[in-house]
């Protein structure tokens, strides 16, 4: 059983083959095992054994399905028909969507067994998984520390081997930053590569669903399954999905890798910096051409993000008003009171902060100064990357300036919390793909992550370099 903990999809696949049990039986075993392992970590909001097993038994996919029987964790903001899906928020209390997200359809038709309700920051607002209304998830490497966020639950259950892989969502680093802090592989695909239909929106122009896996191979396999054009999502792009697993080559000889100077700044922990610098040397020794590049608008990325993302969020979250579904306050005498009380009681503090921020920056009189200006800078950030990718195949950076911090350490300091995503936000702003891969540990034994970014739809480049790096260290 223990080989399962570290070996990802392949390990589970082999275990299933050997076990010679019915899908219901072995799924039951996986569920019990996860429940046991999750007691302290709390990567799941809850594990509904009956539902997971019966869903597995009812799946019509044949045993040759690519993910047949493989347990996959699902972040609590990806809709599964008939299952509680709440974005870890009280406002969506009791909400069971009558539809599946497109990625859920794809996983199911490939035989995956869905482990729903991985914990997260409320509505994905956060970098530590502490804003969940169900309480924090803990880092499997050190239970006193945060796992990162917002996909902290998805990452923790993969890092602890409860499931073979998981889906998260990444709006400003919510897959990559926790992957880095828990020592797993996290991919944010190109904007439009994976359908957002059924992903409960945080910031529509930035959100992307992506895989969280034990290794780069699993990441490629998962993306191959979930990617593709979806007529239900106008922002998904109609470009054929390559065989990503074919891109898993150890050879990066001649690949040009850019090192953007704006990502090597004060505030990076010494251990993190040293690990990344050593990694760059490794890449060079493998035959990659390392070049210095500049992404001059990087320094504006966090500020712009905190204009654009909350603006979209303030509008996306307006629908949670107690009228049609979710939480409705009983302390209301009329309509306006019902709206006010339901939202006051239903949303957590960080959600309220972002709704207010977004409402403010979209208000008439402020729109031009904030939202419009931020969009203009966003274009500049995007242009920076275009320029850089004309001279190199990908860029390499740290994923996060620090390793996992202590639970509670930054909860009273939103600005410090926001800076945790300083290296990941730009990829969302530019819509480009980015992957975080484990890159050793710091002196405390906490995982460090290295990030690779490439031009839109160049996920193959990322898999190539990430796989080579993974195999090389």
Partner 1 sequence: MSYRDKYETVIGLEVHVQLNTKTKVFCGCSNLFGAGPNTQVCPVCLGMPGVLPVLNKQALALSIKIALALGCDIQKNMKFDRKNYYYPDLPKNYQISQYDMPLAFKGCIDIELEDGSAKRIGVTRAHMEEDAGKLMHDTGGVYSLVDLNRTGTPLLEIVSEPDIRTPQEAHSYLTVLKQIIKYLGASDCNMEEGSLRCDANISVRLRGEKKLGTKVEIKNMNSFKAVKDALTHEEDRQMDLLEDGEKIMMETRLWDDKKGVTASMRAKEESHDYRYFPEPDLVPFEISHDLMEDIRLSLPELPDKKFERFMNVYKLDKKDIEVIILEREVADFYEDVVKGFNDAQNVANWVKGEVMMHMNERGVDIAGLKLAPADLASLVKMAKEGALSYLVAKEVLRECIDTGKKPESIVAEKGLRQVSDQGEIEKIVDQVIAANPKSVEDLKAGKENAISFLVGQVMKMSKGKANPRMANEILRSKLVG
Residue 127 is among the residues annotated as catalytic for this protein: no
Residue 174 is among the residues annotated as catalytic for this protein: yes
CB of residue 457 to partner 1, shortest distance in Å? 15
CB of residue 121 to partner 1, shortest distance in Å? 16
Instruction: Tell me whether residue 233 or residue 271 sits nearer to partner 1 (CB atom).
Output: 233
CB of residue 302 to partner 1, shortest distance in Å? 20
CB of residue 210 to partner 1, shortest distance in Å? 16
Q: Of 209, 207, 237, whose CA–CA distance to 223 is shortest?
A: 209
- Cα dihedral across residues 356, 406, 161, 194: positive or negative: positive
Cα–Cα dist 398/59, whole Å: 40
Cα–Cα dist 258/293, whole Å: 6
The pairing of strands 165-170 and 71-75 is: parallel
Residues belonging to the chain: 473
Interface positions with partner 1 (CB under 8 A): 77-79, 85, 87, 92, 95, 97-99, 101, 196-201, 203-205, 231-235, 311-312, 314-315, 318-321, 323-325, 335, 339, 359, 362-364, 367, 371
CB of residue 228 to partner 1, shortest distance in Å? 15
| 2, two tokens | 């223990």
Instruction: Tell me whether residue 100 or residue 420 sits nearer to partner 1 (CB atom).
Output: 100
CB of residue 233 to partner 1, shortest distance in Å? 5
| CB contact at 8 A, 408 and 400 | no
Options 89, 128, 132, 150, the catalytic residue:
150
| 48, two tokens | 């509904």
Options 7, 51, 75, 154, the catalytic residue:
75
Instruction: Tell me whether residue 53 or residue 355 sits nearer to partner 1 (CB atom).
Output: 355
Instruction: Tell me whether residue 12 or residue 371 sits nearer to partner 1 (CB atom).
Output: 371
Instruction: Tell me whether residue 115 or residue 371 sits nearer to partner 1 (CB atom).
Output: 371
Instruction: Tell me whether residue 191 or residue 423 sits nearer to partner 1 (CB atom).
Output: 191
Options 127, 174, 195, 314, the catalytic residue:
174
- Residues noted as catalytic: 75, 150, 174
């Amino acid at each position: 059983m223990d080989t399962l903990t570290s070996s990802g999809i392949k390990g589970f696949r082999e275990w299933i083959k050997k076990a010679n049990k019915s899908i219901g039986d072995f799924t039951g075993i996986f569920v019990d095992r996860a429940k046991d392992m999750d007691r302290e970590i709390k990567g799941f909001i809850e594990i509904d054994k009956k539902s997971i097993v019966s869903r597995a038994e009812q799946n019509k996919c044949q045993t040759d399905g690519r993910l047949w029987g493989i347990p996959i964790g699902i972040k609590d903001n990806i809709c599964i028909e008939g299952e509680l899906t709440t974005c870890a928020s009280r406002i969506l209390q009791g909400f069971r969507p009558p539809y599946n997200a497109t990625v859920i359809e794809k996983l199911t038709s490939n035989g995956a067994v869905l482990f729903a309700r991985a914990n997260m920051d409320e509505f994905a607002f956060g970098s530590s998984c502490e804003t969940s209304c169900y309480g924090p998830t803990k880092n499997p490497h050190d239970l006193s520390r945060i796992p990162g966020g917002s996909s902290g639950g998805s990452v923790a259950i993969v890092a602890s081997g409860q499931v073979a892989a998981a889906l998260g969502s990444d709006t400003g680093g919510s897959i990559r930053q926790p992957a880095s802090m828990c020592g797993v592989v996290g991919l944010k695909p190109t904007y439009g590569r994976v359908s957002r239909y059924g992903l409960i929106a945080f910031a529509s122009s930035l959100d992307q669903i992506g895989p969280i896996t034990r290794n780069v191979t699993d990441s490629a396999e998962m993306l191959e399954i979930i990617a593709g054009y979806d007529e239900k999502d106008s922002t998904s792009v109609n470009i054929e999905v390559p065989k990503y697993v074919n891109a898993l080559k150890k050879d990066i000889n001649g690949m040009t890798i850019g090192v953007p100077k704006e990502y090597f700044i004060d505030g990076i922990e010494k251990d993190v910096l040293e690990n990344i610098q050593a990694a760059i040397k490794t890449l060079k020794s493998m035959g990659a051409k390392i070049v210095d590049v500049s992404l001059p608008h990087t320094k504006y990325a966090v500020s712009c993000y905190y204009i654009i993302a909350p603006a979209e969020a303030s509008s996306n979250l307006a629908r949670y008003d107690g009228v049609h579904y979710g939480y409705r306050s009983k302390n209301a005498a009329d309509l306006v009171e019902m709206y006010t009380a339901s939202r006051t009681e239903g949303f957590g503090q960080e959600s309220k902060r972002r709704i207010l921020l977004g409402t403010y920056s979209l208000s008439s009189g402020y729109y031009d100064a904030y939202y419009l200006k931020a969009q203009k800078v966003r274009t500049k950030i995007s242009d920076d990357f275009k320029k850089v990718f004309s001279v190199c195949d990908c860029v390499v950076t740290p994923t996060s300036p620090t390793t996992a911090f202590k639970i509670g350490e930054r909860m009273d300091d939103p600005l410090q919390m926001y800076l945790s995503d300083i290296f990941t936000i730009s990829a969302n702003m530019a819509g480009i793909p980015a992957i975080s891969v484990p890159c050793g540990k710091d002196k405390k034994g906490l995982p460090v992550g290295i990030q690779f970014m490439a031009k839109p739809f160049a996920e193959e480049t990322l898999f190539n370099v990430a796989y080579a790096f993974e195999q090389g260290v």
